Amino acid sequence: MDEKLSCCGRTKHRGEGEQAELMNRLSRIEGQIRGIKGMLEKDAYCIDVLNQVAAAGSALQSFGKVLLASHIRTCVAEDIRAGKDEKLEELVTALQKLMK
């Protein structure tokens, strides 16, 4: 576990299915980024590289949407049910960052 996360107590246990789906998405994105790097190393045409950059950006945005939906359904909903409204402000801040 990342030392920064464990020191502040903010962790999230994910089920095997959710964890696997998120990791698979990130692995594909990582592969896309490596592909872009390879294209640059091979002097690929600018528009071809830009098309791959757009695809990787879209994949990363999609990853964020899936993670956000899970966060709302679990962390946010659980805290609101428990009377902890702080998660709402955290959610608003996260949404503002994602929507830039």
67-83 per-position pLDDT tens digit: 999 999 999 999 999 99
Q: What is the mean pLDDT of residues 35-58?
A: 98
C-alpha 44/C-alpha 18 separation (Å) is 36
Q: Which of 37, 61, 66, 64 is nearest to 49 (CA)?
A: 37
Distance from C-alpha of 19 to C-alpha of 9, rounded to nearest angstrom: 19
CA distance linking residue 92 with residue 94, whole number of Å: 5
Q: What is the Cα–Cα distance from 8 to 2, expressed in whole angstroms?
A: 11
Tell me how crowded residue 36 is: count the other CB atoms within 10 A of its CB.
Answer: 19
The whole-chain average pLDDT of the chain stands at: 90
Question: Selecting from 3.40.50.1820, 1.20.58.1000, 3.40.47.10, 2.30.31.70, what CATH number does the domain 16-98 have?
Answer: 1.20.58.1000
